[in-house]
Amino acid sequence: MPITEHTAKTRRHTTFYLAAGPENGPLVIFVHGWPELSISWRHQLRALATLGFRTIAPGMRGYGRSSVYPQHGDYDQEHIVQDMIELVDAVGRERAVWVGHDWGSPVVWNLASHHPDRCHAVANLCVPYYTLERGLDQMVALVDRELYPENEFPAGQWDYMRYYEESFAEAIASMDADVYKFVKLLFRKGDPAREGQRAFTATARRSHSFLGMSPIPDLPRDNDVVTEEDLSIYVSALERIFWAILLVYESWGQCRVCHDGPERRLPQYARLIPECSV
């Protein structure tokens, strides 16, 4: 099943996207997280396309061949959600099934709550509804204070996001210095033995490091998650614009909520799907 490359252009933004499957098939749009690309969904694009779906995976603003912007505010949720609405318009559809992963999840949840008329259905990996799309303060309010006592870990596992807000240049320096090592570190399986233990990110500010450790460890590539060829594609794309990718992350950490009238609480139950390798 071939995957083809496309571009959707409007006067305000350009979105690069991958597509597969019959053009008249039911539309499923996969929204990637950080620091990823549209190719993160390459396996899912083909799998659903063989079942007759039209599958699309856009590069989000600031990533890959989509438009890159210089200011934090350029990555507000309002703009990102509008990018997705314009993408659906560009392919001649009214609605889609939206699937988000990681930082793609608040985008998809905001589409559901602010633009239900553009959604057939919504699914997400990793991030439950009414969390990240509400902003960092909402996430901190949900921290398990038995695991992260407030006097010692005021922001819990989200301390690294406070680190971005307070010391952005310092926070990105080690990542920007060696994108290959950083991406290789992130693209790996989780360790079940660490369940219930504190996250490394909980000490980011006092450790002056995103992961609570410095320098970034040079771990072997996890071949179960990413091949060397795939890793080179990620690194090549991200090295050119890694500063912008980090602006995306920091701005989504602030997660300025959407626009256009009252937000709708979704009536359906939201189910958290455990993260899987892509």
Domains delineated in the chain: 1-134+256-278 (3.40.50.1820), 136-254 (no CATH)
Quickly count helices (H) and strands (E) in the chain: 9, 6
What distance in Å separates the CA atoms of residue 274 and residue 127, rounded to the nearest whole number? Answer: 9
Of the pLDDT bands very low, low, confident and very high (cuts 50, 70, 90), residue 272 is very low
Q: Using CA atoms of 128, 129, 132, 138 in order, give the dihedral in degrees to the nearest 10.
A: -110
Averaged confidence pLDDT in the chain: 85
pLDDT digits (tens, 9 = 90+) for 182-220: 889 989 998 899 889 999 899 999 999 877 777 788 999
User: What is residue 244's predicted lDDT score, i.e. its pLDDT?
Assistant: 53
- Going from the C-alpha of 8 to that of each of 15, 22, 27, 91, the distances in angstroms are 5, 18, 16, 8
Query: What token pair was written down for 157?
Result: 């596992």
Centre a 10 Å sphere on the Cβ of residue 237 and count the other Cβ atoms it contains.
21
State the angle between helix axes of 168-177 and 159-166 in degrees (0 to 180), rounded to the nearest 10: 100
pLDDT digits (tens, 9 = 90+) for 55-92: 999 999 988 899 988 887 888 888 999 999 999 999 99
**pLDDT, greater one: 161 or 99:** 99
User: What is residue 250's predicted lDDT score, i.e. its pLDDT?
Assistant: 54
Q: Give the DSSP letter string of 92-138.
A: T-S-EEEEEEGGGHHHHHHHHHH-GGGEEEEEEES--SSSGGG-HHH
User: What is residue 17's predicted lDDT score, i.e. its pLDDT?
Assistant: 98
Query: What token pair was written down for 270?
Result: 């939201």
